[in-house]
Structure 1
């Protein structure tokens, strides 16, 4: 079975070539390996990296900033929201309230032992005379 000869592709002024191989032809073949060899990149040609045109291989370090900001916000939101959820569900800040007589007795004991007449300043059991 004979193959049909390929017709040459010509581009008019309204249709520019879209692939580099169509514009410059096929890349040269290496004699040793028989594979295509990429031409070296010169400083005049821009290098395309993941859709961004970066000249001379310079890296744009500030491209990471939006991602860092998004990650920071995502890490802060759970901690802040937990504090507000606890505040609203528990009726505000935690108050030191003695609702039972035994709790009141323990607060008074701590106030006497502290030596400064404050129940929240504690010496600890090992320092009591």
Structure 2
């Protein structure tokens, strides 16, 4: 019957979902942040360096209050 495919489909679904969820928790454990920044492009690397220079942490949310007044 058609329902005999359900165990196999469940195993495949779990096997495909595990890497996506594992990266979330591995990044949280290793880097202290659950989301990794994509540094493939020069602009992204530049923005990460700017964030790290302004706030000391590249993953911290930045706003106008993060820019020091002179």
Scaled by the length of structure 2, what TM-score is found? 0.50
Q: Which has the higher contact order (CA 8 A, sep 6+)?
A: 2
- Equivalent of 2:27 in 81, 86, 95: 86
Structure 2 alignment gaps of length 5 or more: 36-50, 56-61
Higher strand proportion (structure 1 or 2): 1
Q: Matched residue pairs, number? A: 45
Residue equivalent to 1:62: 3
User: What are the superposed Cα offsets for residues 7-45 of structure 1, whole Å, 9 maximum, x if unpaired?
Assistant: xxxxxxxxxxxxxxxxxxxxxxxxxxxxxxxxxxxxxxx
Q: Which has the larger radius of gyration?
A: 1
Higher helix proportion (structure 1 or 2): 2
Aligned partners of 1:74, 1:93: CA distance in 2, in Å? 21
Aligned partners of 1:67, 1:80: CA distance in 2, in Å? 20
Kindly indicate whether the alpha-carbon contact (under 8 Å) linking 2:25 and 2:34 is maintained by their aligned counterparts in 1. Answer: no
Aligned-residue Cα RMSD (Å) equals: 2.6
Q: Where do 4+ consecutive residues of structure 1 move more than 3 Å?
A: none
Cα 1:64–1:99 shift into 2, 3 Å: closer
Cα 1:83–1:93 shift into 2, 3 Å: closer
Map 1:22-33 onto structure 2 (within 5 A).
none
